[in-house]
Amino acid sequence: MMASEKAIAALLICLVITMASVKKAETLSDCAKECMPVCLKENGATIDICGDACEKYCEQMFTTMGAV
């Protein structure tokens, strides 16, 4: 009985993490969505950190490209 309870708990945790990831992906710009896989390969990277970093990167790129 305990093993099935642990499996259900693990499944629920995975579901919550997946839902949070999907919600974050829905709010990202197209540029940031392309940046995310590269960022997430870095050691210690998380979805939240990469989401913010990629959005800032994209803002910088568009600002720099617009000034040229």
pTM comes to 0.55
Domain spans, the chain? 2-67
Query: Is 1 a residue whose pLDDT tops 60?
Result: no
Q: What integer pLDDT is reported at residue 58 of this predicted model?
A: 94
Among 5-9, 12-16, 31-35, 57-61, which stretch is predicted with the lowest mean pLDDT? 12-16
Strand segments, DSSP code E, in 1-68 are: none
68 pLDDT band (50/70/90 cuts)?
Answer: very low
Mean pLDDT of 35-56: 93
Return d(Cα 60, Cα 57) in angstroms, integer.
Answer: 5
